[in-house]
A = this chain, B = another copy of it.
């Protein structure tokens, strides 16, 4: 398997390249903001060759070469009539909420949750595996759809590249999905920022609600990675510009509006939840809500069109809803409920992904999303790579490309714990998908498969990145088998509704993270007590912590035990109806690297976008 094109010109300048199969990939420097990046070439694997590609090809090139079907044809396959579609060009469409609401008495299909091992910084491929599994399910004769989160625009110009899958497992049109798509995130940003403007405007015009300018919690958002906006002082320049105060900006996916958007079951529910957002406190510490500012109606009007899910297709024409995209740390990290629920009425199998590893994404999927909406996964797929297992076995990033079977055996503990949580704690039948990479050796894969089997589950190698849906047929068959198994008890939550907030956090820490307990400062304990007293005790907890470890220390790999989880900060998300417990440094506005992707992204004279991957 040879790399043909010149790869990764930037990587040599500062450590390695993170792009799959890039020759310079060996070293991934620990810094989150890395300078170097590969230009997006991938190896000319079997899949590429099968499709007649004789040279190495980037994600965007594969996507641009794809023959897309008209979106009306994709919709027709789902039984969605043309009049229920709002087309955005020929290959994207929103499906009218009125049409989807009418499907709600149909029985739901099978729901498959895509989750993962604690990831390495490169990510282990949940999105590609979701695409590959969807394609494979269709190939083996099932009627399948996938549901994904919309990529944020900001990171595309940083170092993340696109988030529409990769290789031969992508959703398309890839550039559109990675750029403005259908404008949902722009609408969410405007709704968020209008609310912010209404707060400062209220204070400026007399502050009848007695808002304490020191206690405005609502922040503005942009869909740009812009570290300079994390901490700001606004309202400077004299009385005409309002009252100076400290504030800041987050990236749009971190807005509570995004979380609400993805949890809402209808336009009405959306509006109600928007009204419940607590944006500030009075000098008497009473909450001030969006409803008090009469903001929620206008915000809902701004979001009306966005709330209809976006229909696109995979490279193999599997229908896909790509809709909503809340952060998986300070929010629950799943695509919109409306998309998933609608897909379940339209298809027999729906694959959806949760953010990060199972300890974060799947936990929130279960305890926040399933709890509030009634969604119930029939099976879970836990994506692992040999690379990630070795990483948890103690191998340094620089050495991950070399064979190390012993490290696989050591690192399996991380995967095992996720598997146990998913299967035993929550009661979801699960399979491990080994997302195959070029450098994986047979011995390593055999060790991994063996270890999973020793743990009482199955592991299936999936090669969808190189081979598309054909590479994931074994996985699809195993998923179908799992879904057909008789269910013993159904989904179990990590904690009951009626547990206190402290008990809920404690249950997550001990039952999911393997911790010995939780700690918090007196101030944080008081805050939790107050939220409990104020009637928010019934809300689930949304933990913001590192995705790289079960603990709050990103460097603690494998399956640490005995650690304790310190709650640094608590935030009320009254509209999303959960309590965020921040356990570690959480960045809600990313920065750009020294050499951002924006430097190489370009558009040709004839309108072709290049440099995006």
A86 lies within 8 A of chain B by Cβ: yes
Chain B residues with Cβ under 8 A from A197's Cβ? Answer: 224-228, 592
Question: Which residues in window 24-39 of A have CB below 8 A to B?
Answer: none
Q: Are A229 and B234 in contact (CB under 8 A)?
A: yes
A570 lies within 8 A of chain B by Cβ: no
A235 lies within 8 A of chain B by Cβ: yes
Question: Which residues in window 568-613 of A have CB below 8 A to B?
Answer: 591-594, 596-603, 605-607, 609, 611-612
Chain B residues with Cβ under 8 A from A298's Cβ? Answer: 157, 597-599, 601-602
Given A180-B186, A186-B186, A236-B231, verify A601-B301 contact (CB < 8 Å): yes
Q: Are B602 and A300 in contact (CB under 8 A)?
A: yes
Segment among A126-134, A164-172, A200-208 that sits at the interface with chain B: A200-208
A297 lies within 8 A of chain B by Cβ: yes
Q: Which of B90, B200, B302, B591 contacts A226 (CB 8 A)?
A: B200
Q: Are B294 and A599 in contact (CB under 8 A)?
A: yes
* Distance of A599 Cα from B202 Cα, bound (Å): 11
Q: Are A228 and B205 in contact (CB under 8 A)?
A: no
* Distance of A554 Cα from B411 Cα, bound (Å): 74
Q: Are A193 and B222 in contact (CB under 8 A)?
A: yes
Q: From A602, which residue of chain B is reached at the shortest CB distance?
A: B297
Q: From A271, which residue of chain B is reached at the shortest CB distance?
A: B603
Q: Which of B295, B302, B612 contacts A301 (CB 8 A)?
A: B612
Chain B residues with Cβ under 8 A from A607's Cβ? Answer: 97-98, 267, 304
A290 smallest CB distance to B (angstroms): 11
Q: From A268, which residue of chain B is reached at the shortest CB distance?
A: B605
A153 lies within 8 A of chain B by Cβ: yes
* Distance of A58 Cα from B194 Cα, bound (Å): 24
Q: Are A592 and B198 in contact (CB under 8 A)?
A: yes
Q: Are B198 and A227 in contact (CB under 8 A)?
A: no
Using an 8 Å CB-CB cutoff, how does the interface string of A467-481 with B read, 1 for contact, 0 for none? 000000000000000
A141 lies within 8 A of chain B by Cβ: no
A246 smallest CB distance to B (angstroms): 8
A241 lies within 8 A of chain B by Cβ: yes
Chain B residues with Cβ under 8 A from A304's Cβ? Answer: 603, 607, 609
Chain B residues with Cβ under 8 A from A200's Cβ? Answer: 226-228
Using an 8 Å CB-CB cutoff, how does the interface string of A230-242 with B read, 1 for contact, 0 for none? 1111111100111
* Distance of A111 Cα from B270 Cα, bound (Å): 46
Given A295-B598, A603-B297, A612-B301, verify A187-B180 contact (CB < 8 Å): yes
A190 lies within 8 A of chain B by Cβ: yes
Q: Are A86 and B89 in contact (CB under 8 A)?
A: yes
Chain B residues with Cβ under 8 A from A598's Cβ? Answer: 194, 198, 294-295, 297-298
A566 lies within 8 A of chain B by Cβ: no
Given A194-B157, A268-B605, A596-B201, verify A302-B179 contact (CB < 8 Å): yes
Q: Are B233 and A236 in contact (CB under 8 A)?
A: yes
* Distance of A12 Cα from B7 Cα, bound (Å): 69
Using an 8 Å CB-CB cutoff, how does the interface string of A247-278 with B read, 1 for contact, 0 for none? 01000000000000000001110010000000
* Distance of A295 Cα from B597 Cα, bound (Å): 10
Question: Which residues in window 281-321 of A have CB below 8 A to B?
Answer: 294-295, 297-298, 300-302, 304-305
Using an 8 Å CB-CB cutoff, how does the interface string of A177-216 with B read, 1 for contact, 0 for none? 0011001001101100110111011001110000000000
A87 lies within 8 A of chain B by Cβ: yes
A223 lies within 8 A of chain B by Cβ: yes
Chain B residues with Cβ under 8 A from A294's Cβ? Answer: 598-600
Chain B residues with Cβ under 8 A from A236's Cβ? Answer: 230-233, 246
Given A88-B88, A206-B594, A236-B233, verify A300-B228 contact (CB < 8 Å): no
Chain B residues with Cβ under 8 A from A220's Cβ? Answer: 222, 229
Q: Are B224 and A241 in contact (CB under 8 A)?
A: no
Q: Which of B90, B228, B295 contacts A241 (CB 8 A)?
A: B228
Q: Are B592 and A201 in contact (CB under 8 A)?
A: yes
Chain B residues with Cβ under 8 A from A297's Cβ? Answer: 598-603, 611
Chain B residues with Cβ under 8 A from A305's Cβ? Answer: 176, 179-180
Ranked 8 nearest A-B pairs via Cβ: A231-B237, A297-B602, A186-B186, A200-B228, A197-B226, A298-B598, A231-B236, A294-B599
A-B residue pairs in contact (CB < 8 Å), sample of 22: A86-B90, A87-B87, A87-B88, A87-B89, A98-B606, A179-B301, A186-B190, A194-B598, A197-B227, A201-B226, A227-B242, A228-B241, A229-B234, A231-B236, A231-B237, A232-B233, A232-B236, A294-B598, A294-B600, A298-B598, A301-B602, A304-B609
Binding site for B on A (CB under 8 A): 86-90, 97-98, 153, 157, 176, 179-180, 183, 186-187, 189-190, 193-194, 196-198, 200-201, 204-206, 220, 222-237, 240-242, 246, 248, 266-268, 271, 294-295, 297-298, 300-302, 304-305, 591-594, 596-603, 605-607, 609, 611-612
A98-B607, A186-B186, A297-B600 are known contacts; what are 12 more A-B pairs with Cβ within 8 Å? A86-B88, A88-B88, A157-B298, A197-B228, A198-B592, A201-B227, A228-B241, A231-B236, A231-B237, A297-B602, A301-B612, A304-B603
